[in-house]
Structure 1
Amino acid sequence: MAYLSGNSFFVYFLFTIIFGLGILHASAELQRFTHTPKSDGSLSFLVLGDWGRRGEYNQSEVAFQMGEVGEKLDIDFVISTGDNFYDDGLTSEHDPNFEESFSKIYTAKSLQKQWYSVLGNHDYRGDAEAQLSPFLRQIDSKWLCLRSFIVDSELAEIFFVDTTPFVQEYFTESEEHNYDWKGIYPPKTYISNLLKDLDMALRESTAKWKIVVGHHAIKSIGHHGDTQELISQLLPILQANNIDFYMNGHDHCLEHINDTKSPIQFLTSGAGSKAWRGDIEETNRKDVNFFYDGQGFMSVQLTQTDAIILFYDVFGKVLHRIISSKELRSSM
């Protein structure tokens, strides 16, 4: 179960009220949540992205397999890498799409744990702040979505980053899509504050495992490919602070790519519903360990010495396995 540490509950309460009124602008303060690990100190969770389609495009089938794996691993929580509701986010905090695409789909007992979620670009096309509203937690207590925040579970610290405002094209394609930028302007200030706060939090972290989660891929061979704004602005901070994994969605696939300049491993889990066969942009990159162009999800198991990460397809079959050791820092 997730708890707000210290006096953070009161701060978070005030933050959500002020934020909901639109008074805070260009703020990227990282809220911190404490999530107690298992009694043996280990941690396990599932990672899913790009899913909310009222059960269609195999969303329900993926949800079923998540429930099976979640029970087997006795997961502590679930991470959503964004694009939570298609096609254009939620219209308001009263939008029935919230329950039709979330509460009524992920019904397995093992999935009734805390869900930590970030916003994707499709979420910004609706009422982005609706997904951040505490009112949704009254409808379904397992839902928790903020722009950027930290989950501290002693063994690991997970840093959630709001990546959509980094992408310049979203600010210039207004004729095709409308984006809800309330609370973001001016974007340069927002991004600067976010990067500063993230860098400080990462430098101060003493966790055994440091994981960063965003919606957009830093590196991908899928439809959208590498996100150049993240390569130039976010990646240097991650490299300087020796993070272990960057996890994202956006491309509707599963993939595992190595960083050529650091031990960081880039893990895409954006296959929660709609996916396209053959939707691959590059095929000859030497840093790519695994790519799958179908629906599925990812599991993560952490101990003091090892991380075991598995990718599953829509039938629950294990497609790819990563084993990373803190001593050897190797994967296979």
Structure 2
Amino acid sequence: MTSSLNQGTLCHVIFIASLFCVLVIPSLAELQRFKHNGNSNQPLNFLVIGDWGRKGTYNQSLVAKQMGIVGRKQNIDFVISTGDNFYDSGLTKVDDPAFYDSFVNIYTAPSLQKTWYTVLGNHDYRGVVEAQLSPLQRKKDRRWVCLRSFILDAEIVEFFFVDTTPFVNKYFDSKKVAYDWKGVLPRGPYLSNLLKDVDSALAKSKAQWKIVVGHHTIKTAGLHGNTVELEDKLVPILKKNNVAAYINGHDHCLEHIIDQKSGIHYLTSGGGSKAWRGEIKKLDPQELKLYYDGQGFLSVQITKTKVDLVFYDALGRVLHTSSITKNLKPKA
């Protein structure tokens, strides 16, 4: 009787412990996928903008105007946002007027009325994260697609959007700024599962091109410097899975850097509004193809054999052009 009772008690304890683990530890699940239904025989065109949400100030409106002009000429398929969508502290609630003041009422050009695929930046984590993730935002503006991490399948290319803010140690140590970590804690399992998801999805991908998008810099000559946590955790996955490019914001500038060992192209498009004039760090001139410390954006065209890059400033002037070919040898 005693033995049976102890066994039953033990089973009950195990069950409760298992239930507790299920409730508090994020489970490993495939990243949500979106499909862009284009013509694989036609080039894919899109714009990339980051660090933009300042209610039209710091030349945000001027950049938006030029994006509209280039978007029309390129007949773009969509827009990618690299995060820090609303300054200084994200959205405070689902019906925060900043959604209209910094997004809906700024990017009004007909060519920009395409889907915006969006990741979160560190400033977005200072607000209520769920306000940006809420499906109610898409009811206000059908363009808005924002998740922590997800995949966009555009046939010849797959984009892997990665939530980079939870990787950065200093945000968790901050005593001055509060971050919204709901949905992230416990941090260890969240990051571990995310890395496994990204690695698995990249390995399974049959797309001719693989591009990873995140907010934080990995290689940069800009103010923030390299994000060491991503160098340690994410870069090995990029290298292993033949990723062609990593696209980010965070540094308020435009950059094109080619890692000479891996061939990965690091593309910074964080010039959506406020820029940092004169902030540049030394970098190997063989790797640094463009550094522009001002406002602007990136235009990308992808075919089966080539990725064409064009960086524009806030007046629509071309700053830099380059191409990535299938053997990842750049034509700088």
* TM-score of the superposed pair, with normalisation by structure 2: 0.90
Distance 1:314 1:24 in 2: 46
In structure 2, do the counterparts of structure 1 residues 135 and 256 end up closer, same or farther at CA, with 3 Å as the change threshold?
same
- Taking the aligned partners of 2:84 and 2:35, their CA distance within structure 1 comes to 25
CA contact (8 A) 1:258 1:266 kept: yes
The CA distance in 1 between the partners of 2:330 and 2:120, in whole Å, is 31
User: Which deviates more, 258-267 or 231-240?
Assistant: 258-267
CA–CA distance in structure 2, aligned partners of residues 264 and 284 of structure 1:
15
Corresponding residue for residue 100 of structure 2: 99
Alpha-carbon distance, 1:38 to partner: 3.5
* Partners of 1:41 and 1:152 in 2: CA distance: 15
SS in 2 for 1:282: coil
Residue 57 of structure 1 pairs with residue 67 of structure 2: no
Which position in structure 2 is the counterpart of 1:73? 74
Structure 1 match to 2:127: 126
Counterpart CA distance in 2 for 1:24 and 1:51 is 34
Following superposition, the deviation at residue 292 of structure 1 comes to 0.2
Q: Residue 33 of structure 1 corresponds to which residue in structure 2?
A: 34
Deviation per residue, 1:130-179 (Å, 9 max, x gap): 10000000110100000000000101000000000000000001x21110
Q: Distance in 2 between matches of 1:28 and 1:111?
A: 35
* 2:93/2:131 contact within 8 Å kept: yes
**1:137 aligns to what?**
138
* CA 28–77 in structure 1, closer or farther in 2 if over 3 Å, else same: farther
The structural deviation recorded for 1:281 is 2.5
Are the aligned partners of 2:309 and 2:322 in contact in 1 as well (CA < 8 Å)?
A: yes
Q: Is the alpha carbon distance of 1:199 and 1:284 closer, same or farther for their aligned partners in structure 2, counting shifts above 3 Å?
A: closer
Contact 1:148/1:160 (<8 A) preserved: yes
Q: Distance in 2 between matches of 1:140 and 1:27?
A: 31
Question: Partner of 2:193 in structure 1?
Answer: 193
Which amino acid in the other structure matches residue 277 of structure 1? R
With over 3 angstroms needed to count, the CA separation of the structure-2 counterparts of 1:225 and 1:328, relative to structure 1, is: closer
Aligned AA for 2:330?
Answer: S
Match of 2:325 in 1: 325
> What do the CA deviations read for 1:102-125 (whole angstroms, capped 9, x no partner)?
000000000000000000000000
Secondary structure in 1 matching 2:124: helix
Q: Secondary structure at the match of 1:121?
A: coil
2:222 alignment partner in structure 1: 222
The residue type equivalent to 2:325 in the other structure is S
How large is the RMSD of aligned CA atoms in angstroms? 1.4
Q: In structure 2, list runs of 5 or more residues that go unmatched.
A: 1-22
In structure 2, the CA distance between the partners of 1:24 and 1:115, relative to structure 1 (3 Å rule), is farther
Task: Report what 1:274 is aligned to.
Answer: 274
For residue 203 of structure 1, give the secondary structure of its aligned residue in structure 2. Answer: helix
CA apart distance, 1:285: 5.0
Residue matched to 2:291: 291
8 Å contact kept, 1:310–1:319? yes
Q: Normalised by the size of structure 1, how large is the TM-score?
A: 0.90
Partners of 1:193 and 1:121 lie apart in 2 by 20
In the other structure, the counterpart of 1:14 is none
Note if 1:155 corresponds to 2:156. Answer: yes
In structure 2, what is the Cα distance between the partners aligned to 1:282 and 1:331?
23
User: 1: CA distance between counterparts of 2:238 and 2:292?
Assistant: 25
Instruction: State the SS of the aligned residue for 2:123.
Output: helix
